[in-house]
Amino acid sequence: MNEMMIGVDIGGTTVKIGFINQDGEILKKWEVPTNTSNGGKAIMDDIWKSIQGHTHSLNISKGSLLGIGIGAPGFIEPDSGFVYEAVNIGWKNMDLAKEMKERANLPVYVQNDANIAALGENWIGAGNGAKNMIAVTLGTGVGGGVIANGSILNGENGMAGEIGHIKIDPNGIPCNCGGIGCLETICSATGIKRQGIDAVSINPDSKLAKFYEEHGKLSAKDIIDFAKSGDEISVQIINNTVDILGRTLANMATIINPSKIIIGGGVSKAGVYLLDLIASSFETYAIPKLNDVCELKLAELGNDAGIIGGAYLVKQNVK
């Protein structure tokens, strides 16, 4: 019996798709471009045709497919699989689950992209089946997913776990969400870069300023690399970033009391260097009894977390 699930992770540029077995192994994965033109109308057909093509060429029988689990960015109603809005894709009021069911005649489950990535990490990644887990994605923005009592928290209208929009500084930087001083304005790649450019303008003779002048650009990775090499201004930026991130994670842990906090996304590629700093800040702020049971870990599944989590969504629901 070779039952398998289809995981789909819809992003602004590509859609990742995979056939995944009951053990979480990827049997086959591939990508199709996300066609955002015309309100993203073609995306559903593109996905389904591509799945059909691979089902054919791999000689997979329809009967072995248990269902499709889809992650999409934006505001989603998980019970119905309805997407209110997904700005990056062009969707508005898109009945994603219904549309896909009509094409595939299979069970379809939908979650937002951060939540399925958290589910994937929880299943076969760094989460190790933790009943209580927080996943944070430090990328262009800061995303998050929370598992409590063994289930993804969706909340009343699918907005739970939006870690990036925790308000840190009432006098801070405006955020894309319309708020002021959100975590994402400081601890994302964008936020670290902004801190770097601010620091450069105040310290025009610094190593960082010279690098910026020479290269005409400055990335979060550059700043982290400078910090690793001991550059004082960069160290200050990273210290400020991990202080705020560690404190915010400690505050989240005060609510959720997790056994695992998983750090993923582009910024987390700075690896153990960053993880250790975040964990040290977390320890400073967390009640000892919270810290005692909580392990901070780097995400393990990279870009596959979404399709694996999508598959798990099917596995959880179909059995």
| Interface ranges with its own copies (CB under 8 A) | 75, 131-132, 146, 148-149, 151, 153-163, 165-167, 170, 177-179, 243, 247, 250-252, 254-259, 285, 287-290, 292-294
What's the closest the beta carbon of residue 139 comes to its own copies, in angstroms? 18
Whole-angstrom Cα distance, residue 86 to residue 89? 6
The enclosing H or E element of 94 equals: strand 91-94
Give whichever of 162 and 304 is closer to its own copies, judged by the CB atom.
162
Give whichever of 145 and 264 is closer to its own copies, judged by the CB atom.
145
N-terminal to C-terminal alpha carbon distance within the chain: 15
Give whichever of 30 and 75 is closer to its own copies, judged by the CB atom.
75
Who contacts 165 (Cβ-Cβ below 8 Å, separation ≥6)?
175, 177, 179, 182, 183, 184
What's the closest the beta carbon of residue 164 comes to its own copies, in angstroms? 9
Give whichever of 233 and 252 is closer to its own copies, judged by the CB atom.
252
Provide the Cα torsion 200, 202, 207, 211; round to 10°: 20
What's the closest the beta carbon of residue 231 comes to its own copies, in angstroms? 24
Task: Supply 17's token pair.
Answer: 């798709």
DSSP class per residue in 122-139: HHHSTTTT-SSEEEEEES
What's the closest the beta carbon of residue 138 comes to its own copies, in angstroms? 17
Give whichever of 70 and 253 is closer to its own copies, judged by the CB atom.
253
Give whichever of 18 and 164 is closer to its own copies, judged by the CB atom.
164
What's the closest the beta carbon of residue 264 comes to its own copies, in angstroms? 18
Whole-angstrom Cα distance, residue 192 to residue 198? 10
Give whichever of 50 and 240 is closer to its own copies, judged by the CB atom.
240
What's the closest the beta carbon of residue 30 comes to its own copies, in angstroms? 34
What's the closest the beta carbon of residue 148 comes to its own copies, in angstroms? 5
Task: Supply 269's token pair.
Answer: 């590629």
Residue 249 burial by CB count (10 A; 0-12/13-18/19+): exposed, middle or buried?
Answer: buried
Number of Cβ within 10 Å of residue 78's Cβ equals 19
